[in-house]
């Protein structure tokens, strides 16, 4: 895809590859750091991941590419955070990270809901998100994430 870039009186045509999730190693590395036992590392990594995934330029990704973001980056991260119970940081627990990742998941899903609806696998994607939200609501019963019955 080509985009015109104007810099002063110069105009350039630049080919931009928006299939940034074809090489997931960068995003998977950041996602792994989101589970680090050190709060500062977790927080910084999650901030980087949010900025990468929420870039306004990514609105042109196809529904299949967004499904790939969910399946290859966000769902494994959510699963790893559910399994992470050995972090003994009571003041800044892993719960804060879980809440932030849940918010990121919901934000991406809602921002791209219309194109995602066209996927033949939309129901599976939706049920997986609901399953994670249910698991998260049962995991932590503190002020940040409380299940109200």
Whether 81 and 34 have beta carbons less than 8 Å apart is answered as yes
pTM over 0.85: no
* pLDDT (tens digit per residue) in 13-51: 433 344 555 556 778 888 888 888 888 888 899 999 998
- Give the Cα separation of 124 and 40 in Å (integer): 34
Show me where the domains of the chain are located.
22-139
Each residue's pLDDT tens digit, 105-149: 999 999 999 999 999 999 999 999 999 998 888 875 555 545 555
Backbone angles phi and psi of 111, in degrees to 5: -65, -30
């Amino acid at each position: 895809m080509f985009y015109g870039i104007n810099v002063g009186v110069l105009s350039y045509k630049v080919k931009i590859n928006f299939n940034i999730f074809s090489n997931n190693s960068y995003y998977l590395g950041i996602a792994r750091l989101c589970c680090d036992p050190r709060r500062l590392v977790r927080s910084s990594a999650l901030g980087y991941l949010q900025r990468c995934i929420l870039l306004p330029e990514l609105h042109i990704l196809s529904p299949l590419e967004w499904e790939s973001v969910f399946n290859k980056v966000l769902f494994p991260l959510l699963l790893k955070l559910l399994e992470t119970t050995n972090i003994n940081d009571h003041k800044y627990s892993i719960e804060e990270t879980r809440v932030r990742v849940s918010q990121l998941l919901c934000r991406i899903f809602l921002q791209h809901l219309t194109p995602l609806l066209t996927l033949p696998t939309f129901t599976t994607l939706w049920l997986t998100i609901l399953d994670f939200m249910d698991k998260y609501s049962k995991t932590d019963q503190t002020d940040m994430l409380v299940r109200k019955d």
